[in-house]
């Protein structure tokens, strides 16, 4: 953990797929200690550690020099680098910019493909929702090739554009969990950025998750429910496009009180014939 002023910054390592401390290697004097430290770290990560970390431990190769998990309860992030190619990114952005945007808060612009929602009053309107856009279908199919996303059924896509010249950012917040389910999935396009997590339970700690250009990030578990997420204006360089897909909560799934609404939404979403809900 580096200490910067009064805020402790923990970096999420994309190789280990966990929050790591970076400065422990100098404390390890020799290869026996190194092996012991690795074993201790492996044991402490245990079955909660990502498969990649365990595989690397088992095969004896360190993915990076990160030996210890930072002492915070931060789990539920998974980043897939190069989820789309440069050509696919171009085609996606051409399609996105073929439709108008509406101005949103904090300098952002957005396009919505999903139901109109009043979260406070727990009210939904589907009239304007015609489904997810056709250009997103291959992303949906590619996500499902990932074991952990095989059952991911998105019912909403929100494209958010951030430009540094408008000072665009998003303040720390939790996403709704009445309608939206466990996994929030964002494809990060046009430039790299950083998603910052903060928690009232860990005052003064910031976990920074790098978002390489063209990577896909999955936010769930503690990262979804116990840590707020934000994008600082300092982490926007030039222009960034975030495509965020959301799934349904249990209330809208089989056996939930709003099961029928969920079914209808899902049917609409997966036609992949949608137009943006509110266009200027
Ligand atoms: O821009 C992002 O990656 C995050 C967007 C976000 O948090 C949201 O739309 O709720
Ligand atoms: Fe969010």
CA 37 / ligand 1 centre spacing (Å): 37
Closest residue CA from atom 2 of ligand 1: 242
pLDDT digits (tens, 9 = 90+) for 127-159: 889 999 999 999 999 999 999 999 999 999 999
CA 228 / ligand 2 centre spacing (Å): 8
Arithmetic mean of pLDDT, 223-240: 97
Per-residue confidence (pLDDT) for residue 133, from 0 to 100 = 98
Mutate to test the pocket of ligand 1, among 179, 209, 231 (most ligand atoms within 8 A of CB): 231
CA 57 / ligand 2 centre spacing (Å): 34
For ligand 2, a single-atom ion, the residues with CB < 5 A are 175
Which segments within the chain are labelled E, that is strand? Answer: 2-4, 7-13, 18-21, 68-69, 77-80, 102-103, 109-113, 116-118, 123-125, 154-163, 170-173, 180-189, 193-198, 205-211, 216-219, 228-231, 239-248
Show the DSSP H helices in the chain as ranges.
31-45, 51-58, 86-97, 137-144, 221-225, 259-269
pLDDT digits (tens, 9 = 90+) for 241-257: 999 999 999 999 999 99
Q: What residue ranges line ligand 1, CB within 6 angstroms?
A: 158, 160, 170, 175, 186, 195, 229, 231, 242, 244
Arithmetic mean of pLDDT, 40-44: 54
Cα–Cα nearest to 191, from 221, 151, 162, 227: 162
Matching residue, tokens 């489904």: 131
Per-residue confidence (pLDDT) for residue 72, from 0 to 100 = 72
Atom of ligand 1 nearest to the CA of 160: 1
pLDDT at 267 over 70: yes
Per-residue confidence (pLDDT) for residue 46, from 0 to 100 = 43
pLDDT at 25 over 80: no
pLDDT at 165 over 90: yes
Atom of ligand 1 nearest to the CA of 229: 7
pLDDT digits (tens, 9 = 90+) for 179-215: 999 999 999 999 999 999 999 988 878 888 999 999 9
Percent of the chain with pLDDT over 90: 66
pLDDT digits (tens, 9 = 90+) for 82-123: 999 999 999 999 999 999 999 999 999 999 999 999 999 999
- pTM reported for the whole predicted model: 0.84
Confirm whether the ipTM is greater than 0.95: yes
Per-residue confidence (pLDDT) for residue 153, from 0 to 100 = 98
Atom of ligand 1 nearest to the CA of 188: 3
Per-residue confidence (pLDDT) for residue 264, from 0 to 100 = 95
CA 170 / ligand 1 centre spacing (Å): 7
CA 123 / ligand 2 centre spacing (Å): 20
Per-residue confidence (pLDDT) for residue 248, from 0 to 100 = 98
Per-residue confidence (pLDDT) for residue 126, from 0 to 100 = 87
Nearest-angstrom CA–CA distance, 268 and 274: 8
As a whole number of Å, the CA-based R_g of the chain is 20
CATH numbers and ranges of domains, the chain: 18-71 (no CATH), 79-269 (2.60.120.590)
Percent of the chain with pLDDT over 70: 77
């Amino acid at each position: 953990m580096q200490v910067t002023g009064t805020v402790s910054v923990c970096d999420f390592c994309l190789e280990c797929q966990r929050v790591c401390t970076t400065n422990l290697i100098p404390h390890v004097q020799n290869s026996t200690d190194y092996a012991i430290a690795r074993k201790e770290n492996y044991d402490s990560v245990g079955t909660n550690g990502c498969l990649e970390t365990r595989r690397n431990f088992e095969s004896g190769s360190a993915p990076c020099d990160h030996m210890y998990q930072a002492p915070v309860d931060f789990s539920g992030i998974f980043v897939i680098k190069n989820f789309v190619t440069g050509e696919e990114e171009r085609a996606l952005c051409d399609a996105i910019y073929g439709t108008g945007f509406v101005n949103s808060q904090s300098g952002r612009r957005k396009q919505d493909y999903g139901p109109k929602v009043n979260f406070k009053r727990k009210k939904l309107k589907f009239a304007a929702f015609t489904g997810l856009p056709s250009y997103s279908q291959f992303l949906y199919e590619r996500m499902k090739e990932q074991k952990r996303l095989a059952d991911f059924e998105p019912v909403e896509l929100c494209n958010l554009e951030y430009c540094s010249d408008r000072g665009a950012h998003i303040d720390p917040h939790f996403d709704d969990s009445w309608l939206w389910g466990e996994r929030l999935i964002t494809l990060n396009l046009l430039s790299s950025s950083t998603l910052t997590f903060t928690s009232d339970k860990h005052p003064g700690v910031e976990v920074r998750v790098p978002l390489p250009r063209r990577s896909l990030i999955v936010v769930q578990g503690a990262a979804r429910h116990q840590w707020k997420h934000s994008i600082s204006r300092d982490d926007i360089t030039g222009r960034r496009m975030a495509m965020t897909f959301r799934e349904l909560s249990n209330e809208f799934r089989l056996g939930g009180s709003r099961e029928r609404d969920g079914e209808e939404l899902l049917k609409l979403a997966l036609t992949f014939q949608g137009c943006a809900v509110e266009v200027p």
